[in-house]
Amino acid sequence: MPKIEENTDITIPLRNLLSIIGGVAIAVVGYFHVDERIMLLEHEQVRMIDDIKASEKWIDEWESGGMLPLDAEQNIRLDVIERELYK
């Protein structure tokens, strides 16, 4: 078995060297595309979770009979105005 030293020469055909460099370049570009896609999906997931939480909050605030708290307040004000008109 030959010894490998500082002065040991390695020969590789230029075609093989270019193929290796091209393969590494393609792998790096592919990695960054996959990483970018994962980050995009994670961002969309966070936005969807925020939307779901906002919807849950809206549903929880919904009162029985399909009236929101603001609707109930508005109805009370309308009742007061109607009573004043009848007087």
**pLDDT, position 63:** 57
H helix or E strand, kind and range, residue 82: helix 69-86
**pLDDT, position 65:** 59
Cα separation, 56 vs 50, in Å, equals 10
Contact 68, 61 (CB under 8 A): yes
* Tens digits of residue pLDDT in 21-79: 999 999 999 999 999 999 999 999 999 999 999 988 877 776 555 666 677 788 888 99
| Length of the chain, in residues | 87
Give residue 5's pLDDT band: very low, low, confident or very high (50, 70, 90). Answer: confident
The predicted model scores a pTM of 0.54
